[in-house]
Chain A
Amino acid sequence: MTTRTADDARALVLDALRAVAPGPELDALGPHDDLRDTLGLDSLDFLAVVRRVSDGTGIRIDEDDYGRLSDLDGWVALLTRPS
């Protein structure tokens, strides 16, 4: 089992976010900024991000995980946890 580095995970999530909500807000995004508020994501957008990251990592992200995915750090923590 390989473990993804935090940098890899962050880049992956940012790529997914960029595909869904490109713009200056994304470039200025901090690790603890609320993603939905800062980027104006609705549930369709958020699902699109989840799908992209699930596809890109092979990690199945369930709705029960959503509570931890409100900011970039939460995503990085989920994607770098030992599998």
Chain B
Amino acid sequence: MPSLGADMAEGTVVEWLIGPGDEVRRGDVVATVDTEKALIDVECFESGTVDRLLVDVGTKVPVGAPLALIATAAPGGPPPAGPRPSGAPAPAEPPPPAAPPQPAEPPPPTAPPQPAAPPGTGPPRPRTAPHPAGRSPLTRRRAAAAGLDLAALPGTGPDGEVTRADVDQALRSGPPHRPRISPYARRLARERGLDPTALAAGTTGPLRARDVVAAPAAPVAPAPPPPRPRSVTAALMARSKREIPHYYLSTEIELGAALERLRRHNLAIPVADRVLPAAQLLHAVVRAAGAVPELNGHWIEDRFVPGDGVHLGVAVALRGGGLSVPVLHHADALDLDALMAALLGAAGRARSGRLRSSEADGATLTVTNLGELGVDAVTGVIFPPQVALVGFGAVRPRAWPEGDALVVRPVVTATLSGDHRATDGATGARLLHEIDRQLHRPEDTA
């Protein structure tokens, strides 16, 4: 269970998108986890063959608990069917044999293929018996080849272990508990509002992407996710105000030249690649954070730990209320166009309630832009363990001195909330000035 937020202690697997025997690649979405803040699509951090799922749908496990066992492919060779040798590094290592969760009860042998139980319908709680899945590589290979989920089979061996005979019995007695569906096909089906399990029930082999494409599209899009409880934001913000002695700065930034550069940039590119002023502001913040690294990182155990790159949290207001803060990792490696694309993707996923695990945590600095709400400025609350938060209000035409005259220019108020344990106001002022400077450097913006 990866940490999907600084405040996350445990998570519930609500869906597996893979099963034993599936090939997975690093970055594939393999499961959906409910963190009580959001549903997150968890990406795999290793490539190989799924050996076993260790956590049942509906089971809540602490951060750090292994979710699945993945056999990694040896270089140039076929993937081993069993777990890797114990000496090899193993991010997805199985838990110690003490008390791993036991799988959901097996279906009756004549039952049709069953989807994993939906969350909230009372999946069986984990029992404290040893895991019954077969320890024999042969049994595992045999089950995987047949598309059987070992963890779902009744075991007759010692401690409920699934034996080869159990696998053979399951093969004779009925269809597999879990239809085989390629991860891509499952993703496609979900995007099209189709039930992959229902589709798979109508096929004999594994469900492939082409089967999904051939299926008639669902008439309506899936319903938007239910609103998330306030409690998580409440706890995090209360902690921030309890622990962090904030200081606050603000400055007005004139945007006339920057917006004109952006306008010309957008005239020259396809509509699909159009860059919003919001992305231009984020871009300036990212570059400023690189120039003032004292504000880019975390306060951990009474000292500042600088970030290994600028990982920018972007506060996104959700339709129907609430807040999501997806993280644009290594934003300092992105040019303006790439940053815009990253923002579009992350904001879209945040609003659909389906962030990816890689963008759910790890921000070193967060930006909140309330300009869309028509307010002039925001004095924000820092997301712990970060040490600063940058806020923007609305870009408005305002009187602006230029030489001896007053002219009307688009102006935005930029604010900084800083953690006074980590920095003083002078450092914060440098960051705001650097944001201003970045927005006045023609070669660095559009």
**Residues of chain A at the chain B interface (Cβ within 8 Å):** 21, 40, 42-44, 47, 50-51, 54-55, 60-64
Contacts and interface: CB of A to CB of B under 8 A. Distances in A.
A63 B263 contact: yes
B278 interface: yes
A42 B271 contact: no
B276 A54 contact: no
Interface in B373-397: none
A42 B372 contact: yes
Contact of A47 (B267, B274, B319): B274
Interface in B235-282: 263, 266-267, 271-272, 274, 276-278
B99 interface: no
Nearest to B347: A44
19 contacts: A40-B319, A42-B317, A43-B276, A43-B277, A43-B372, A44-B278, A44-B344, A47-B276, A50-B271, A51-B271, A51-B274, A54-B271, A55-B271, A55-B272, A60-B271, A63-B266, A63-B267, A63-B274, A64-B263
Nearest to B344: A44
* Size category, B interface: 10 to 19
Contact of B276 (A40, A44, A55, A64): A44
A43 to B, nearest CB: 5
Contact of B271 (A21, A44, A61, A64): A61
Given A44-B343, A63-B263, 16 more contacts: A40-B319, A42-B317, A42-B372, A43-B276, A43-B277, A44-B344, A44-B347, A44-B348, A47-B274, A47-B276, A50-B271, A50-B274, A60-B271, A61-B271, A62-B266, A63-B267
A75 B175 CA distance: 55
A33 B319 CA distance: 19
Contacts of B263: 63-64
A10 B434 CA distance: 45
Nearest to A50: B271
Nearest to A59: B271
A61 B272 CA distance: 11
Given A43-B278, A47-B276, A62 B347 contact: no
Contacts of B267: 62-63
Interface in B343-358: 343-344, 347-348
Contacts of A61: 271
Q: Interface SS of chain A: helix, strand, loop or mixed?
A: helix
A63 B269 CA distance: 12
Contacts of A42: 317, 372
A70 B277 CA distance: 18
Interface in B307-357: 317, 319, 343-344, 347-348
A60 B272 CA distance: 10
Contacts of A60: 271
A38 to B, nearest CB: 14
Contacts of A63: 263, 266-267, 274
B343 to A, nearest CB: 8
* Max chain B C-beta neighbours (<10 A), residue from A42, A54, A55: A42
Nearest to A18: B221
Given A44-B347, A51-B271, A54-B271, A21 B277 contact: no
Contacts of A62: 266-267
Contacts of B317: 42
B279 to A, nearest CB: 9
A63 B344 CA distance: 18
Contacts of A64: 263
* Max chain A C-beta neighbours (<10 A), residue from B271, B274, B372: B271
* Max chain B C-beta neighbours (<10 A), residue from A21, A44, A51, A61: A44
A43 B266 CA distance: 15
A51 B276 contact: no
Nearest to B277: A43
A7 to B, nearest CB: 23
Contacts of B347: 44
Nearest to A53: B271
B146 to A, nearest CB: 42
A55 B319 CA distance: 25
A64 B274 CA distance: 13
* Max chain A C-beta neighbours (<10 A), residue from B263, B277, B319: B319
Contacts of A54: 271
Nearest to B317: A42
Nearest to B266: A63
B193 to A, nearest CB: 13
B375 to A, nearest CB: 13
A6 B440 CA distance: 43
A21 B344 contact: no
A62 B319 CA distance: 26
A58 B152 CA distance: 52
